[in-house]
Amino acid sequence: MPFQFDHLHTLTTLIDEGTFEAAARRLHVTASAVSQRVRAMEQSTGKVLVQRTNPVRTTDAGDVVLRYARQVLLLDADTAAELRLDGGDPDGGDPDGGGGGAGRVSVPLAVNADSLSTWFLDALADLPAELGAVFEIHREDEEHTTSLLRSGTVMAAVTSTPEAVQGCTVAGLGAMRYRAVCSPEFDARHLGGRADPELLPQAPVVNFDRRDDLQDRFVRESARREPTGPRHYIPASEDFARTVLLGFGWGVVPERQCASEIAAGRLVELAPGHPVDVRLYWQRWNLRSPALDRISEVVRAGAADRLHAF
């Protein structure tokens, strides 16, 4: 099933942009042309690749072709970068409006919010400028980033899943360390002024979102009961930490975001000496790519410097 290069490019653009009209604007063609290219790929495979929803979504067969398309485009960009076939200024414009820029390698990655806020960007900053990579970061819970790898949406991900996704390799990064904390005022009002873990099940708690179970796990392990207290949902890492600091509720906060506050007495640790560790792994496509290889190197090095060994 040979695919034309511009058809593969069209598929990735369509999924990235979400609609036929938006993809057409980025590719400087008509929406009808985008539809015809996708239909040609579907006729070639004999399968429906795209659900015509808003935004569009890939089918299971579409996931396979999307992953292949991104791999082809990555290898093409790698080759152009190595041979300098693009002939463009590395800091120049973007001929197709895709955000990559001439001479740039576009790399979509999936990262959990806490890593993104505390260490991941510092690691990427160590990349040499001449690599010419631009990033599309998908923020996703570490337990769910592998779904983006399976679908072909991203090329690599920080995940808590040690089992390699099909077609990927996996390497341990280290443990993200968290501390269960609250403000002194919250402690006095809800926990008896002694950070009593027995009172945690009924106390107001801050969750990142409805999939965040770190706080529930901590209550079950420390108080041996199910949490029943009122909940706040704050789906942004830095705002989550600030909500705890302001006394809305207690929460399990990344150590890098709360260590100085604990030392200054602005936060009270609920279980000193008993941190909550979440093991993180780096999963990436099992594909030889200078850009992806270099990115993987700096991510692993950055994690070694900033996470706890396990």
Q: Mean pLDDT for each consecutive 10-residue tract of the chain (310 residues)?
A: 91 95 96 96 95 94 94 88 59 44 74 95 91 89 88 93 94 97 97 92 96 94 92 96 98 97 97 93 93 95 95
Domains of the chain, with CATH numbers?
1-85 (1.10.10.10), 156-310 (3.40.190.290)
Residue pair 157/299 in contact by the 8 Å Cβ criterion: no
**pTM of the full structure:** 0.82
Say what the pLDDT of residue 99 is: 44
How far is the C-alpha of 251 from the C-alpha of 74, rounded, in Å? 40
The amino acid at residue 47 is K
Say what the pLDDT of residue 263 is: 97
* DSSP-derived 3-state class of residue 29: coil
Beta strands in the chain (DSSP E): 50-51, 57-58, 105-111, 133-139, 156-159, 168-182, 205-207, 231-233, 251-254, 268-269, 276-285
* DSSP-derived 3-state class of residue 44: helix
